[in-house]
Structure 1
Amino acid sequence: MARPKKEQKEKTIDSVCEAALDKFKKMNKRKGTHGEIIEKLEFCIGSYRYDKNPQGLVEFGHKASEILKGEKARHDKSVAQGLIDDLDSAISAHTNA
């Protein structure tokens, strides 16, 4: 018997940036790097939840995506491609809106 497909939730820019933030925090524990992007994402996520203005999340979400792509290029298994794709999709949804 086939399993029913899970409904795919549309991923919001704040939830995707929060997933990226979690990834940076894990990488930071191991390497002690990425402190600046962690601070920026934390601030922008809180700000977005307060005023619903995605400008900061779009800007730093894009920077986070670039950093994650660089990490993936150096260590292929260190970053899930799905996280990068979700981040890029959420950013493009807000830049094209």
Structure 2
Amino acid sequence: MDTKNEGLRDVCQEALECLNKPGNEAYNELKSKLEYVIGSYNYDKNPVGLFEIGNLALIALEEISAEKPRKVKKTLLKNLKENLLQKVEA
């Protein structure tokens, strides 16, 4: 079991929960994709989708944070960035 990928899955789940908050209806397609890749990872342990959609989630969360800083935890952004960087390092 790769704990790095498990960490990425967990932070993607946290990003999904943040995107599910009221006022983020513009991101419904992204939320669906995140749900799908999290479920897919849980099934086959292939993290490719988590990295791809996780990057899109990071961009969306940064947009939300720029408009309304209190809607997105800074630790979420930090953890998501760190987990996505592990693919670059690998």
Matched with 1:85 is 78
Matched with 1:38 is 31
Aligned residues: 86
What code does the residue aligned with 1:18 have? Q
State TM-score, norm by structure 2.
Answer: 0.87
Once residues 24 and 84 of structure 2 are traced to their aligned partners in structure 1, the CA distance between those partners, rounded to angstroms, is 27
Once residues 33 and 88 of structure 2 are traced to their aligned partners in structure 1, the CA distance between those partners, rounded to angstroms, is 19
User: Which runs of 4 or more aligned residues in structure 1 lie more than 6 Å from their structure 2 counterparts after TM superposition?
Assistant: none
State TM-score, norm by structure 1.
Answer: 0.81
Question: How far did residue 30 of structure 1 move?
Answer: 3.2
Question: How far did residue 51 of structure 1 move?
Answer: 1.0
Once residues 54 and 63 of structure 1 are traced to their aligned partners in structure 2, the CA distance between those partners, rounded to angstroms, is 15
Bigger fraction of residues in helix = 2
Q: What is the DSSP-based 3-state SS (H/G/I as helix, E as strand, rest coil) of the residue aligned with 2:46?
A: coil
Runs of 5+ consecutive residues of structure 1 not aligned to the other structure: 1-9
Matched with 2:46 is 53
Percent of matched pairs sharing the same residue: 34
Query: 45-54 or 31-40, which moves further after superposition?
Result: 31-40
Correspondent of 2:9 among 8, 14, 28 = 14
Once residues 16 and 74 of structure 1 are traced to their aligned partners in structure 2, the CA distance between those partners, rounded to angstroms, is 22
Matched with 1:70 is 63
CA spacing shift, 1:51–1:77, aligned 2, 3 Å:
same
Q: CA RMSD in A?
A: 1.5
